[in-house]
């Protein structure tokens, strides 16, 4: 009987466990144990229900174009529960000089693909609009080295595009900072498009036309979620795994290689107990992985420690129907750093996913924190609510008292792929090659969104199974 430890029961660890469970059921001689330091399973996936509102404490949905999360949902019986965002009302605003300005139609991420809406948009100055026209003739350029997202975007569209779009998009979604994040790790398509086509605008338009042709009018919603909330995914996964395999409330302190004698493998120490395993999947955040692996491989631990994480707070505020009808239509807004606010973004949940709030309620989900505002995590709850309410007053003129507020703090939960991240992954892979049976999964490596974490977990499981000779394939390390 082969034994595999999974450390971390977030969506990465649970996806790994589900992949192992499938093998176990197909009569592989296999047993696995899932450790988590927390009393609840699922990591940052948490859904609460308050007064008829469905509140997502962590992720609220995932990108539809990345298939792994939806595929997993179908596999665990949640196909009927998958639900697209209400894209008929999709509209996102950017705060510019204190006013909300809608992102013009045809702007794909930050690349304009339609001329007229961009030309008439007040989001950009005339200077930036002229830069956009010039960008069309940008020559192909193969960069020798990695660079920040900000530097690539600025080269194409100028600094205003970084300030008004690139940075708020990255900080609103990932709590990141465009002047720190690696273009090759975060926006690899941009680096490829520049190398092949030169102009991002031309490349994006060509790709968009191809996709539209392939989709033939069956446009998919941008985001997908679950009717009962993201927690449904966790509950369905957990219900398909043997209860005896879980060790909640069990923080792992060390994972050490055992090289001698017949018992070659891994020792996992949690509390006063140490258990022997043939393979280990570390699906905890990279910083926690570094702490566990410090004795086994100081070099690996140092590389893992180099992957930075930012913290964030989600503040959910519910209001009555009067507020709902006073809010601008759309999914919400993003706040550029230059606007000097603490809030990074706000989602109008009742529009993006209407089933999450009764028709006579408005539900707002606001983000604060991120790379530039870590200290917000330490503030008392009342102060956080007061900051958010003050900024909502300034931005939306919203003065009403909320019916209720729910705050969730996520310390060091969002990995930030800095410049050189892919080189770091290569070094990690080389180090893992010397440590057979050890695999990493999670948002610290090749994608921070839920679908990437699902993929990462199941690839890590396959890697562990392959190391033990239980399956043939050998997917990439540190997925």
Q: What are the angstrom distances between the C-alpha of 409 and each of 47, 54, 205, 273?
A: 14, 18, 39, 30
Write the binding mask 243 to 272 for ligand FAD: x where contact by CB under 6 A, - elsewhere.
--------xx--------------------
CA dist., res. 30 & res. 468, Å (int): 10
- CB of residue 300 vs ligand FAD: minimum separation in angstroms? 16
Part of the chain binding ligand FAD (CB under 6 A), chosen from 59-67, 121-129, 163-171, 340-348: 59-67
- CB of residue 61 vs ligand FAD: minimum separation in angstroms? 5
Told to check if 43 binds ligand FAD by CB under 6 A, we report yes
- CB of residue 311 vs ligand FAD: minimum separation in angstroms? 9
Whose Cβ is closer to ligand FAD: residue 135's or residue 391's? 391
Q: Which residues contact 146 (CB under 8 A, 6 or more apart)?
A: 182, 183, 184, 185, 419, 420, 421, 422, 423
Pull the structure tokens for residue 377. Answer: 């995590």
Told to check if 442 binds ligand FAD by CB under 6 A, we report yes
- CB of residue 121 vs ligand FAD: minimum separation in angstroms? 26
Which segments of 210-335 are extended strands (E)? 223-226, 246-247, 252-258, 265-270, 273-277, 279-282, 308-320, 332-334
Told to check if 336 binds ligand FAD by CB under 6 A, we report no
Among 5, 6, 13, 376, binds ligand FAD (CB under 6 A): 13
The residue written with tokens 């696995």 in the block is 32
Among 4, 6, 12, 64, binds ligand FAD (CB under 6 A): 12
Please give the residues from 270 up to 329 whose contact with ligand FAD meets the rule CB under 6 A. 283-285, 288, 312, 314
Whose Cβ is closer to ligand FAD: residue 38's or residue 256's? 38
Among 162, 450, 477, 478, binds ligand FAD (CB under 6 A): 450
3-state SS class at 154: helix
Among 203, 334, 414, 470, binds ligand FAD (CB under 6 A): 414
- CB of residue 282 vs ligand FAD: minimum separation in angstroms? 9
Among 5, 11, 16, 293, binds ligand FAD (CB under 6 A): 11
CA neighbor of 19 nearest in space, from 76, 81, 82: 76
Q: List the 438-440 sheet strands across, edge first.
A: 246-247, 30-35, 2-7, 279-282, 438-440
User: Is there a contact between 226 and 84 (Cβ–Cβ < 8 Å)?
Assistant: no
Q: Could you tell me whether strands 223-226 and 2-7 are parallel, antiparallel, or unpaired per DSSP bridges?
A: unpaired
Which residue stretches of 356-449 are H helix? Answer: 381-396, 421-433
The contact set with ligand FAD (CB under 6 A) reads 7-13, 35-38, 43-45, 58-62, 251-252, 283-285, 288, 312, 314, 410, 413-414, 442-443, 448-450, 453
């Amino acid at each position: 009987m082969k034994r595999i430890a999974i450390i971390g029961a977030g969506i990465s660890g649970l996806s790994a466990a589900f992949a192992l469970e499938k093998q176990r059921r197909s009569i592989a001689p296999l047993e696995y144990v899932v450790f988590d330091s927390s009393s609840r399973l699922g990591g940052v996936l948490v859904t609460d229900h308050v007064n008829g509102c469905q509140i997502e404490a962590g992720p609220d949905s995932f990108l539809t174009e990345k298939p792994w999360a939806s595929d997993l949902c179908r596999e665990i019986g949640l196909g009927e529960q998958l639900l697209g965002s209400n894209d008929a009302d999709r509209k996102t605003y950017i705060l510019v000089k204190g006013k909300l300005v809608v992102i013009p139609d045809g702007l794909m991420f930050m690349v304009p693909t339609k001329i007229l809406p961009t030309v008439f948009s007040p989001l950009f100055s005339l200077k930036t609009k002229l830069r956009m026209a010039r960008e069309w003739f940008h020559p192909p350029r193969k960069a020798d080295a990695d660079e920040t997202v900000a530097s690539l975007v600025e080269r194409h569209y100028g600094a205003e595009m970084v300030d008004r779009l690139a940075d708020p998009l990255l900080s609103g979604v990932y709590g990141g900072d465009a002047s720190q994040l690696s273009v090759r790790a975060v926006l690899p398509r941009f680096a490829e498009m520049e190398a092949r086509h030169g102009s991002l605008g031309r490349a994006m338009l060509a790709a968009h036309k191809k996709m539209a042709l392939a989709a033939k009018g069956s446009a998919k919603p941008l985001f997908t979620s679950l009717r009962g909330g993201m927690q449904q995914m966790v509950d369905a996964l957990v219900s398909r795994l043997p209860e005896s395999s879980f060790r909640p409330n069990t923080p792992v302190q060390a994972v050490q290689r055992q090289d001698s004698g017949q018992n070659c493998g891994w020792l996992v120490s949690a509390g006063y107990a140490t258990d022997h395993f043939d393979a280990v999947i570390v699906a905890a955040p990279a910083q926690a992985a570094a702490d566990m692996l410090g004795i086994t491989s100081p070099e690996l631990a140092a590389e893992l420690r180099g992957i930075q994480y930012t913290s964030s707070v989600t503040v959910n505020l519910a209001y009555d129907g009067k507020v709902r009808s006073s809010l601008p239509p759309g999914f919400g807004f993003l706040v550029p750093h230059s606007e000097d606010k603490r809030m990074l973004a706000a989602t109008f949940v009742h529009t993006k996913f209407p089933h999450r709030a009764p028709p006579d309620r408005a539900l707002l989900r606001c983000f604060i924190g991120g790379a530039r505002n870590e200290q917000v995590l330490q503030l008392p709850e009342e102060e956080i609510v007061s900051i958010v309410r003050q900024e909502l007053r300034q931005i939306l003129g919203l003065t009403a008292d909320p019916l209720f507020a729910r705050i969730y703090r996520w310390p060091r939960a969002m990995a930030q792929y800095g410049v050189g991240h892919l080189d770091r992954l290569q070094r990690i892979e080389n180090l893992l090659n010397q440590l057979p049976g050890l695999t990493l999964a999670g948002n610290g490596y090749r994608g921070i969104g839920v679908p990437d974490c699902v993929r990462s977990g199941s690839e890590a499981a396959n890697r562990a199974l392959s190391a033990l000779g239980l399956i043939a394939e050998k997917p990439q390390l540190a997925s």
